[in-house]
Structure 1
Amino acid sequence: MDPQARRRWLQGLALGASSAALAGPAAAAPRPGRKRLRLAHPAPETGFDPAQVNSDYYSITLIAQMLEPPLGYDYLALPARLVPRTAEALPEVSADHRVFTLRIRPGIFYSDDPAFGGRSRELVAADYVYAIKRFFDPQHKSGDLYQFEALKLPGLAALRERAIRDRTPFDYDTEVEGLRALDRYTLRFTLGAPDPRFPYLLATPFCAPIAREVVARYGAAQMGAHPVGTGPFRLKRWVRGARIEFERSPSFRGEVYQGQPADQPLQQALAADLAGQRLPRVDEVVVEVVEEDQPRWLGFLNGRYALLQVPFGLVNHVAPNGTLAPYLARRGVRLQRQSMPDMGMSYFTMTHPVVGGYTPEKVALRRAVSLGFDQTAYIEHVLGGQAIPGQSLIAPFTSGYDPAYKSGMSDHDPARAKALLDAYGYVDRDGDGWREQPDGTPLVLEKASQSTQRDRLANEVWKRSMDRIGVRITLRTSTWSELLKLTRSGTLMMWGFAWSAASPDGGFFLDTAYGPNAGESNDSRFALPAYDRLVERQKRLPDGPEREALMREAKNLLAAYMPYKVHGHRVLTDVLQPGTRGYWRHPFMRDTWRFVDVPADDEPAA
């Protein structure tokens, strides 16, 4: 977007906001006295079944408000600190880091649901066993199975293999060594290999319980529309891909904030505000899916949303030089900025005949594309300058991240890119200005894309970058959910998005290039035995210099083979309305809505 057009667009935002504020909301019968937290998501959800959402960040965030894993995080502690959630205490751990035992707190109940036949249903240890077994059930084709396969839980892989081999339903009733309910409230995990960081997984929605009666009533195919959990909120209404409404669950046990806040001004102020407050603090949460940046921002300016992540293209307008713009400060809007443990990337599908493969010319092509891509322009124009240039997959706040580590991942050098292409036979044979492949066939990159404003800006950077090195690039445009399906099936040549860590374990990012995870978290389908062995070795070690050295070797291999072009680690900017309290963007927690408070809302619920 040229500067003049951008100025006109920003002026339009301000004028639109003024008009919307004058017009006010559509007339409808008010419901005074309700506290309704209104939020906007920039991408649609895929559903509410942990076993079937395939690491979709937005769906996982929604699930986390309803379904509770055994552990969680202290909301205001930094560094991040695990705390019990439905468990009575942190797990007991064997000396070899293979056996983890925890006790589920008695007296926790699911939200009322017809599946329970009008009776209250208590949470028990067997619910966690059943929920995790569902990831191994072949009918779910879970893209997140890799998180449990890596644990090598004895017996579970055999149950899955039997169901596939015999084409029979998955056997949920056979007890296995790797995952057992010892009694009504005691849960034991026995890993096939040591994993000192396993408890982090117990704080994710992937380890949230599922009541077997719910699946029996609604069926596996409909589970994504019928989440029933023990958390502070329950699903009230769902308009797929448009609007999700939650309400306070009458069955929730309630809790009062307790924690050890970091010795920083924001966390200390939030702790003072939360002291003695019973959670959740709001009666309802309404999430609207608004994919385009402009209407999301206008919604915030009009007071519709209690808080909002500022679209990257607007950060310099909202917070020039990191300071909130005066017109927002006068309204009492508040600003928060937070580096995130995520990595934005573009991947090359390693099984694709054009960009995939491990031969020298294929490696040279990917490295040349990486060198030709203008990383600085991407961060500036697409991410509003709000990112740390990426040197590896591993993100800040996680083990294995080294701010001093430097690879060629962030280099932009069109001259070197052209020389590399020339050396390996990617030259213009017919004089049309575009390079061909070494065998003389056309060299055409096909990059998948959504149709949002941000994607269009990214596509402009890609097009200009590839034009400079004589490589033709075309676009394949579709929706987020469809592109995610195509990614899992390995049918795209190139696409990209961001992975966000759910724990301080940087091994999570290394797993996204681990060969056995192809079709799950390994979007590129990278498969290099030497890399896989490094991933497996570091997983068994406690944090420390030996593990860090192995993780560095793994990062070096990824920079050499370039299955991923890592763009950067984002810095997110949030704005909060004057009456919004209790919020900050925790690096790893997803279940944070219960801490947020807003004024009573007289706006209609429709």
Structure 2
Amino acid sequence: MWKRLRGALLAVLLLADVAQAVGAADPSKVVRMPFPAPDDGFDMVRSLNQYSGWLAEAIFEPLLTYDYLARPVKLVPNTAAGMPEVSEGGRVYTFRLKKGIRFTPDPAFKGAPRELTAQDYAYSFKRLLDPANRSPVASFLDGKLAGMDKLVEQARKGAKFDYDAPVAGLQTPDPYTLRVELTAPDYNFLYLAANVALGAVAREAIEAYGEQSRQHPVGTGPFMLKEYVPRSRILLVANPGYRGMSWNFEPGSDPLDQQLVADMKGKTMPRVGQVEVLIIEEEQARWLAFQGKQIDLDWLPQIAAPSVLNGDRLAPQFASQGLQLQRFIEPAVTYTSFNMKDPVVGGYTKEKLALRRAIAMAYKNADEIRLMRNGQAVEAEMIIPPGIVGHDPDYRRLEKYDVAAANKLLDRFGYRKGADGYRMTPDGKPILLRISREAAVIYQEQAELWKRGLDQIGIRAEYPVSNFADNQKAAIECRLMMWGSAWNADYPDGENFLQLLYGPNARQGNNACYESPAYDALYKKAIALPPGAERNRLYAQMNRQAEVDSPWVIHTWRIRNWVARPWVKGFKKHPILNAPWLYLDVEKH
């Protein structure tokens, strides 16, 4: 009798917790924000799209996440009941899951409640490595899980990937225990366990929707997809079955933290009932929408910086509106990649190295900062940006803007000018660069910067226009000659940036399709080391090797100026997390 009563009491308490979480999310509380480029769906096993990642963070849940306020960043449990047990010298991680977490109701579950289990994470990890998915982030786990390589190799040879085959590196001894065994210690593995690409998906949903899983996400997170108009508008609503989270973060030394704690401490989250995301690619249109109060939260478009900022503060007319400003160097780097397999700019012979280095020296980053970014950036010295482990503030690039030196280099290696003043390859063929870009005005400005520099060294170029998602897909497939892009930190270690040039990651994030035995050897040596001075030294050597080979033209580290309306409470931009909506409240306005 007592067991039955105790079970009934626990059920009532669980229902009360769910009711409290549901009641906390007010449908009338809406946060509206823009994306400057479209997503490409919500399946993060198949996407590198930053904006897809923002949305997926609100829908899918990895085992771990980050403390919202802690700086430097700090990992904390998410769906895991606590931090994992680590054994066998850092090769084995045992995660215990919280009980009672459920996926959002979906026809794939045939009307039955579907609880999150350890098997869902095992399945999700395997999906990342299934060759049929061609995951651009397969490197997160490739070669790292004990016993998995054989399964992957069989699938690469044409066999269907066997999701039911036992694998030593992924064991689920009970529904709430996941045991991960690595082939060698990986000092960034816990950061990977906090990445949305390793968030849990339900096998039934993936198999039911197939390719449509990109537009039909089924997760356990605080929000779920309600409306989706590709490349136009996305509407998320609070997940009524979400377990709820108490806003109880400890303030750090940042004065902003004290205000956040005063506004938010003790609240059950999420409070926001709806998140509306609008795709607004033009900076001017985004700023007009913010000024018209159609947007609550955004980073300040660079076009607006001269009129909105007074140094590092808001100008008086904007401060008087109660706008909140957060200003910092973003943990990201902007660059233009060369396709190292392209017959014109690719290759590793001395004349090809000379061509790429001359092209790089023709681009003036100072003009990009002044004209294109309105002063809201600093010139990048290395691939790893400030705030990321491995960044060296004393590192300096060997070659920068120098048109005279670029011309001498081209002359020396046989790139002669024709009668029209434009250069030819050493075998007499005209050079025509194709620098792909997006349609927004800011990228037209960058094309003009490229033309100005390239004209001075006698190289002709054209600038084909497409949208971000299509350009990214083509770049992953090594089909773009050159493309300007950026990389934001997935986790706070330099490896996350340097893996973008690791040879085996070609078609998996290495959009330059760069393959250097010297670089790859340094990479392998570095990731085998624990964090510290020796690993950082190898990171610097990898930067230098990439400079010599020039698969990238490194541009800037951007300064971000996040602005929020006074009715948005609880906002602080996290260095790694992108989707802030779980942590916000909105006052009536």
TM superposition score normalised by structure 2: 0.93
Q: Which amino acid aligns with 1:262?
A: G
Of 434, 439, 444, 1:451 maps to 439
What percentage of aligned pairs have identical amino acids?
40
How far the C-alpha of 1:300 sits from its partner, in A, is 0.7
Do 2:284 and 2:303's aligned partners in 1 also have CA atoms closer than 8 Å?
no
Map 1:495-506 to 2 at 5 A: 495-506=483-494
Of 326, 335, 353, 1:345 maps to 335
Q: Which residue of 1 aligns with 2:10?
A: none
Q: Distance in 2 between matches of 1:600 and 1:253?
A: 25
Q: Distance in 1 between matches of 2:444 and 2:378?
A: 21
Do 2:49 and 2:469's aligned partners in 1 also have CA atoms closer than 8 Å?
no
How far the C-alpha of 1:95 sits from its partner, in A, is 4.9
Give the unaligned 5+ runs of structure 2. Answer: 1-25
How far the C-alpha of 1:233 sits from its partner, in A, is 0.7
- Residue 583 of structure 1 pairs with residue 571 of structure 2: yes
Q: SS of the residue aligned with 1:477? A: coil
Do 2:232 and 2:279's aligned partners in 1 also have CA atoms closer than 8 Å?
yes
Q: SS of the residue aligned with 1:90? A: coil
Q: Deviations over 1:215-244 (max 9, x none)?
A: 2322x2111111111111111111111111
Of 337, 345, 367, 1:355 maps to 345
Q: Which residue of 1 aligns with 2:16?
A: none
How far the C-alpha of 1:475 sits from its partner, in A, is 1.1
Map 1:7-406 to 2 at 5 A: 34-53=28-47, 55-149=48-142, 151-165=143-157, 167-218=158-209, 220-406=210-396
- Residue 420 of structure 1 pairs with residue 412 of structure 2: no
Q: Distance in 2 between matches of 1:591 and 1:434?
A: 47
- Residue 528 of structure 1 pairs with residue 516 of structure 2: yes
The 10-residue stretch of structure 1 (413-422 or 379-388) with the greater mean CA deviation from structure 2: 379-388
Q: Which amino acid aligns with 1:569?
A: W
Q: Distance in 1 between matches of 2:581 and 2:458?
A: 49
Q: Distance in 1 between matches of 2:474 and 2:278?
A: 25
The 10-residue stretch of structure 1 (432-441 or 384-393) with the greater mean CA deviation from structure 2: 384-393
**Number of residue pairs the alignment of both structures matches:** 564
How far the C-alpha of 1:260 sits from its partner, in A, is 2.8
Label 1:560 to 1:458 Cα distance change in 2 as closer, same or farther (>3 A). Answer: same
Label 1:310 to 1:248 Cα distance change in 2 as closer, same or farther (>3 A). Answer: same
How far the C-alpha of 1:161 sits from its partner, in A, is 2.1
Q: Distance in 1 between matches of 2:266 and 2:182?
A: 40
Give the unaligned 5+ runs of structure 1. Answer: 1-31, 602-606
The 10-residue stretch of structure 1 (523-532 or 32-41) with the greater mean CA deviation from structure 2: 32-41
How far the C-alpha of 1:33 sits from its partner, in A, is 7.0
Label 1:129 to 1:584 Cα distance change in 2 as closer, same or farther (>3 A). Answer: same
Q: Which amino acid aligns with 2:55?
A: L
Q: Distance in 1 between matches of 2:386 and 2:183?
A: 29
Q: Which amino acid aligns with 2:201?
A: I
Q: Distance in 2 between matches of 1:67 and 1:106?
A: 17
Q: Which amino acid aligns with 2:99?
A: P
Q: Distance in 2 between matches of 1:542 and 1:136?
A: 25
The 10-residue stretch of structure 1 (259-268 or 463-472) with the greater mean CA deviation from structure 2: 259-268
Large movers: runs of 4+ above 3 Å: none
Do 1:391 and 1:408's aligned partners in 2 also have CA atoms closer than 8 Å?
no
Q: SS of the residue aligned with 2:523? A: helix
Do 1:393 and 1:509's aligned partners in 2 also have CA atoms closer than 8 Å?
yes
Q: Which residue of 1 aligns with 2:450?
A: 462
Q: Which amino acid aligns with 2:416?
A: V
Q: Which amino acid aligns with 1:113?
A: D
TM superposition score normalised by structure 1: 0.91
Q: Which amino acid aligns with 2:411?
A: D
Q: Distance in 1 between matches of 2:374 and 2:193?
A: 35
Q: Distance in 2 between matches of 1:199 and 1:471?
A: 46
Label 1:146 to 1:471 Cα distance change in 2 as closer, same or farther (>3 A). Answer: same
Q: SS of the residue aligned with 1:187? A: strand
Q: Which amino acid aligns with 1:373?
A: Y
Q: Distance in 2 between matches of 1:180 and 1:274?
A: 39
Q: Deviations over 1:318-351 (max 9, x none)?
A: 2132221232222222221121111111001111
